[in-house]
């Protein structure tokens, strides 16, 4: 090991020790509140927030006293509370007082979205997880974890003391997580492609969502949902795994799922008018972007275009940039590369790294054409570093009646990070503002 690598390792270990003792202090100061709760932790690269909200809705509407802490919002019972959280598991100085408040209100269950950073930095120390849920492990946060093995090991910390584990049998990491579970841990595996305790099949997509059959112990249950995409069938299975562990009956589960309207910033429909669709989604990883585009392609009318606007975050996993550039220009008809939290990096440099993944043979780069121009290319992309201009440009210059516009990467987030500043921002507001004055 080189000297600089040793220094970096020691610095990180020292930092994590500080996180550990800081979190331990917060647990003690707040009276170790989680030990009185039944805590359900959900981790994975994609789908965590949706699964958390599904579990919360299933428990709440089954009459259980439940709280939720996710990256989008927090609820104590039916009351939404302002947490000020941005996009990750909160520090123990915020989390432990909130858990103490939840305990004081007489809540029994807590659903907690749990990130790899939160686990690695001991932010969830003392949370006493009873059920651990894994959605998937895909390419993300390798700027921090360095490689996939370390990323998986960070996620694995959630499962150290659980009584139950809900695992995705379709994910390549299934064997890794299954093997590390301690003897006696009850496991519910779920799958779309393989035999599992909860197996989804006969998935049918419609204009208002999808239907599929869940098989459990040779019993078939029909699920109807407003959510879109095969990946959301997987998310629903994960939530059902928790519901069945807690003995919720299928009649109640199916009723709740039928009325679940989704999560802000997750395939959120901004406009569905005259066949014209604008959708905001948090997809900010290669896997999530691919899933979103594949799903929308199934809903795209023949002869119409799928247009996507997205960027890649600065000072974060740079290896995913060309991957996302390739995915976008392969699956979307038009890709608009733009800014997404560039921080201290130059936006055009980030875009250039996204372009590196684009197939030069099958994809054409164009300058900003007029709306009247006919795009006779199969796949095109443009560069527009200003996100506001990129969104309005995609709608104004490219989108026509019957097309689908996906605005990806920010989802529920309320700010754009430039340098040290957090500039107020909302993809939804930008899209709605332009759509009000636009005639299709």
Q: What is the pLDDT of residues 13-59, one digit of tens each?
A: 556 677 788 888 899 999 999 999 999 999 998 899 999 999 999 99
The model's pLDDT over 118-160, given as tens digits with 9 standing for 90+, comes to 888 888 899 999 999 999 988 655 555 457 778 888 889 999 8
- CATH number given to 3-259: 3.40.1190.10
| pLDDT given for residue 6 in this prediction | 44
Start-to-end C-alpha separation, the chain: 61
DSSP assignment of 55-123 equals: HHHHHHTTT--EEEE-SS-EEETTEEE-----SSPPPHHHHHHHHHHHHHTT--EEEEE--HHHHHTTT
Smallest CA-to-CA distance from 348 within 302, 385, 380 is with: 385
Integer Cα distance of 83 and 93 in angstroms: 12
Question: Residue 184, exposed/middle/buried by CB under 10 A (0-12, 13-18, 19+)?
Answer: exposed
Predicted local confidence at residue 435, as pLDDT: 81
Residues 377, 364 contacting (CB under 8 angstroms): yes
Residue 4 has pLDDT above 50, yes or no: no
379, 333 contact by CB (below 8 A): yes
What are the structure tokens assigned to 282, written together? 């948090």
- DSSP characters for 394-428? IIIII--TT-EEEEES-TT--EEEETTEEEE--HH
Query: Which residue intervals of the chain bear CATH 3.40.1190.10?
Result: 3-259
Q: pTM for the full model?
A: 0.86
Helix-helix angle 347-355:320-331, to 10 degrees: 60
Q: Please, where in the chain does CATH 3.90.190.20 lie?
A: 268-436
Residue 2 has pLDDT above 80, yes or no: no
- With cut-offs at 50, 70 and 90, classify the pLDDT of residue 9: very low
Give the model confidence (pLDDT) of 243-289 as tens digits: 999 999 999 999 999 999 988 888 898 876 656 789 999 999 998 99
268-436, superfamily in CATH?
A: Mur ligase, C-terminal domain (3.90.190.20)
E strand residue ranges, 355-403? 363-365, 379-383
Tokens matching residue 397: 């210059």
- 301 DSSP 8-state letter: P
What percent of the chain has a predicted confidence (pLDDT) above 90?
Answer: 61
């Amino acid at each position: 090991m080189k000297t600089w690598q040793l220094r970096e390792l020691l610095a990180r270990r020292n930092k994590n020790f500080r996180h550990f003792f800081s979190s331990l202090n917060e647990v003690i100061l707040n009276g170790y509140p989680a030990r009185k709760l039944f805590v359900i932790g959900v981790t994975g690269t994609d789908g965590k927030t949706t699964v958390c909200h599904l579990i919360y809705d299933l428990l709440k509407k089954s009459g259980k006293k439940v709280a939720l802490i996710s990256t989008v919002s927090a609820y104590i019972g039916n009351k939404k509370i302002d947490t000020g959280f941005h996009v990750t598991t909160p520090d123990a100085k915020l989390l432990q007082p909130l858990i103490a408040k939840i305990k004081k209100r007489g809540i029994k269950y807590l659903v907690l979205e749990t990130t790899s950073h939160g686990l690695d930095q001991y932010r969830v120390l003392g949370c006493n997880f009873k059920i651990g849920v894994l959605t998937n492990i895909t390419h993300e946060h390798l700027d921090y974890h360095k490689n996939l093995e370390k990323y998986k090991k960070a996620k694995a910390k959630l499962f150290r003391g659980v009584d139950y584990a809900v695992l995705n049998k379709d994910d390549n990491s299934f064997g890794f997580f299954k093997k590390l579970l301690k003897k006696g841990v009850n496991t519910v595996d779920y799958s779309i492609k393989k035999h599992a305790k909860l197996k989804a099949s006969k998935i049918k997509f419609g204009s208002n969502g999808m239907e599929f059959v869940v098989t459990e112990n040779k019993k078939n249950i029909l699920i109807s949902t407003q959510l879109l995409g095969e990946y959301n069938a997987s998310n629903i299975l994960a939530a059902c795994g928790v519901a069945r562990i807690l003995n919720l009956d299928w009649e109640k589960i199916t009723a709740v799922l039928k009325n679940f309207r989704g999560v802000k910033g997750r395939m959120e429909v901004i406009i569905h008018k005259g066949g014209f669709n604008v959708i905001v989604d948090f997809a900010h990883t290669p896997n999530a972007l691919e899933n979103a585009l594949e799903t929308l392609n199934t809903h795209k009318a023949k002869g119409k275009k799928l247009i996507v606007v997205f960027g890649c975050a600065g000072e974060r996993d740079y290896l995913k940039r060309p991957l996302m550039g390739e995915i976008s220009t392969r699956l979307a008809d038009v890709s608009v590369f733009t800014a997404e939290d560039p921080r201290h990096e130059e936006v055009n440099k980030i875009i250039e790294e996204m372009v590196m993944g684009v197939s030069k043979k099958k994809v054409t780069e164009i300058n900003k054409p007029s709306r009247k121009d006919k795009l006779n290319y199969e796949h095109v992309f443009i560069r527009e570093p200003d996100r506001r201009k990129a969104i309005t440009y995609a709608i104004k210059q490219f989108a026509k009646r019957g097309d689908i516009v996906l605005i990806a990467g920010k989802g529920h987030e309320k700010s754009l990070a430039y340098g040290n500043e957090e500039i107020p921002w909302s993809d939804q507001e930008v899209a709605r503002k332009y759509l009000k004055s636009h005639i299709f």
